[in-house]
């Protein structure tokens, strides 16, 4: 009897180490190729019957043309826990995937490069046997390293191509049936130097996650093939960075999301009309800090929005303001892709009710603004530099509450303007002190010329005024009253 047991053990070990691996390799290639309709390659299968561990190396599902891999990996390793047979869950001490790659493409009709695989899977006959509740799965260590995804989409104007990788992902003590929050990490880079990061926890019952997410140095112009579907604006430069803490729970009919300590940073942003030599908007640095939101409480808040440096160029013509036309979204086309100009879709009835959004502070510094007006017979141009703006304590739920406002700018060619006081947007109210110092009158000459045969060649205007804006309680147009001291110096005209 002892010899029989010893013989069985020896056979089990020999079969596990030497006989089973080539059989498994052959069957995986054969069966998967038949099921997927694609060529499947496996370079090596290794099994350890003593530790219940196994590895698959050199695995690849080829594209339909067989020229490159659709999905592949260098090595996949699994270490099964034998105690799973006596427990209420399937347990793996370790799952490791190294050197995984995927090549995904979307053609102009929106068809995925692996649509044939999805069609085969969806057409597979369903089992008539009643489904049994699967045993929960527990993975003590899950590691993915050296992964890469190449994505290509043939859009209407130009193809979009990106390579995400190398990617790493890890998860510890993850269970599909337990209530524990499994800690994990994810990081990835792209061919453009962009970064994606996650660190937090993940759980299944209920599906939930919390932690911190980040995007670093996202190259905005790279995503123009998608932007141009929705707006005619062209992004020619700029990088985007963000990070935030979050908590999301998928339970019941309505998922809940909380965001805290969020921040956004836009650097060297340039946008304008397609093909334009100069951008309409060029922002050196835009920072948004202390972002928070809670979908359950229907609240959102921004601690501070700070714009430092930049230039905005606006032209007024017979059709209106060019910048407004540029920023207007495209109307949806019949095929669901935006195309052509159209008015924005109005919000649904009741949208926004019970929702509150707050802004702690808006700060603008070092901005230049250039306004060209081509509607008069002789075009007019107005420029401000060193523009600064401060607006505090704005609440969507309390738009009638006045917010402190400070504005200042220097007029190119001489003079300055300052505005300070309090404003409320709805109903529109304000109490403002306006100071205009030695502003050149030549800037308004094109408008005067359209009314009289007269050109202003010289002169400045200075003024100190108090402007009060009040909207009647019954509604209607705002009533504006002003008290001002005005002086004009060195005025000269040419008839």
**From its phi and psi, is residue 309 left (phi > 0), alpha (psi between -120 and 50) or beta?**
left
pLDDT at 130: 66
* 24 three-state secondary structure: helix
pLDDT at 162: 94
- The structure tokens 């993915």 sit at 144
Ramachandran angles phi, psi of 91, nearest 5°: -120, 140
Task: Output the tens digit of pLDDT for each of the chain's 495 residues.
Answer: 777 788 787 888 888 888 999 999 999 999 999 999 999 999 999 999 999 999 999 999 999 888 899 999 999 999 999 888 888 889 999 999 999 999 999 988 889 999 999 998 888 776 666 667 778 899 999 999 999 999 999 866 778 999 999 999 999 999 887 667 899 999 999 999 999 999 999 998 788 999 999 999 999 999 998 888 888 899 999 999 999 999 999 987 789 999 999 999 999 999 999 989 999 999 999 999 999 999 999 999 999 999 999 999 999 999 999 999 888 888 765 555 444 444 444 444 444 457 899 999 999 999 999 999 999 989 999 999 999 999 999 999 899 899 999 999 999 999 999 999 999 998 999 999 999 999 999 999 999 988 888 899 999 999 999 999 999 887 788 999 999 999 999 989 886
* 489 three-state secondary structure: strand
Q: Are strands 380-395 and 281-294 parallel, antiparallel or unpaired?
A: unpaired
Helix axes 20-36, 115-123, angle to 10 degrees: 100
The reported pTM is 0.86
* Separation of alpha carbons 281 and 223, rounded Å: 18
Q: What are the Cα distances from residue 294, in Å, to 212, 305, 376, 412?
A: 16, 19, 50, 45
Beta strands in 343-415 (DSSP E): 356-373, 380-395, 403-411
* Separation of alpha carbons 272 and 370, rounded Å: 14
For residues 72 and 35, is the Cβ–Cβ distance under 8 A?
no
* Separation of alpha carbons 200 and 187, rounded Å: 12
* All residues at 6 or more sequence positions from 382 whose CB lies less than 8 Å from its CB, including other chains: 370, 371, 373, 411, 443
pLDDT at 127: 61
* 369 three-state secondary structure: strand
Q: What are the Cα distances from residue 403, in Å, to 361, 387, 395, 396?
A: 10, 19, 9, 12
Rounded to the nearest angstrom, the gap between the alpha carbon of residue 64 and the centroid of all alpha carbons in its chain is 33
* Separation of alpha carbons 297 and 28, rounded Å: 51
**From its phi and psi, is residue 13 left (phi > 0), alpha (psi between -120 and 50) or beta?**
alpha
* Separation of alpha carbons 193 and 172, rounded Å: 28
* Separation of alpha carbons 138 and 136, rounded Å: 7
Bridge partners, residue 61, by sequence: 40, 71
């Amino acid at each position: 009897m002892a010899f029989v047991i010893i013989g069985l053990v020896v056979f089990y070990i020999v079969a596990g180490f030497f006989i089973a691996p080539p059989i498994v390799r052959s069957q995986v290639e054969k069966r998967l190729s038949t099921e997927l309709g694609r060529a499947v390659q496996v370079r090596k299968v290794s099994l350890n019957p003593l530790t219940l561990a196994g590895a698959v190396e050199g695995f690849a599902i080829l594209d339909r043309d067989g020229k490159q891999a659709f999905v592949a990996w260098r090595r996949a390793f699994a270490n099964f826990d034998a105690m799973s047979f006596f427990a209420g869950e399937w347990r793996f001490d370790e799952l490791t995937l190294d050197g995984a790659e995927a090549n995904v493409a979307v053609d102009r009709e929106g068809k995925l490069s692996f649509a044939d695989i999805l069609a085969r899977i969806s057409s597979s006959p369903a089992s008539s046997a009643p489904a049994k509740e699967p045993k929960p799965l527990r993975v003590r260590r899950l590691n993915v390293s050296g992964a890469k995804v190449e994505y290509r989409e043939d859009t209407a104007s130009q193809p979009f191509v990106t390579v995400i990788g190398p990617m790493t992902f890890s998860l510890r003590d993850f269970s599909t049936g337990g209530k524990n929050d499994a800690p994990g990490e994810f990081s990835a880079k792209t061919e453009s130097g962009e970064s994606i990061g996650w660190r937090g926890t993940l759980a299944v019952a209920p599906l939930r996650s919390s932690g911190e997410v980040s995007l670093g140095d996202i190259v905005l112009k790279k995503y123009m093939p998608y932007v141009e579907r929705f707006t005619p604006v062209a992004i020619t430069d700029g990088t985007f960075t963000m990070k935030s803490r979050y908590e999301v729970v998928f339970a019941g009919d309505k998922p809940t999301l909380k965001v805290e300590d969020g921040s956004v940073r836009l650097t060297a942003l340039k946008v304008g009309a397609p093909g334009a030599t100069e951008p309409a908007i060029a922002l050196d640095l835009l920072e948004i800090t202390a972002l928070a939101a809670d979908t359950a409480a229907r609240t959102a808040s921004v601690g501070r929005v700070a714009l430092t440096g930049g230039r905005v160029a606006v032209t007024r013509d017979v059709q209106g303001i060019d910048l407004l036309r540029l920023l207007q979204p495209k109307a949806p086309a019949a095929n669901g892709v935006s195309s052509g100009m159209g008015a924005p879709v109005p919000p649904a009835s009741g949208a926004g009710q019970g929702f509150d959004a707050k802004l702690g502070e808006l700060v603008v510094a070092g901005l230049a603004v250039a306004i060209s007006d081509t509607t008069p017979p002789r075009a007019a141009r107005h420029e401000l530099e060193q523009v600064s703006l401060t607006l505090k304590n704005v609440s969507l739920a309390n738009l009638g509450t006045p917010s402190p406002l400070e504005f200042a700018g220097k007029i190119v060619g001489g003079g300055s303007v300052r505005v300070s006081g309090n404003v409320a947007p709805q109903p529109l109210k304000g109490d403002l002190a306006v100071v205009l110092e030695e502003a050149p009158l030549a800037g308004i000459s094109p408008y005067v010329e359209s009314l009289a045969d007269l050109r202003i060649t010289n002169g400045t205007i200075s003024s100190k005024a108090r402007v009060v804006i009040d909207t009647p309680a019954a509604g209607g147009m705002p009533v504006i009253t002003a008290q001002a001291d005005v002086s004009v110096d060195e005025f000269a005209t040419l008839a």
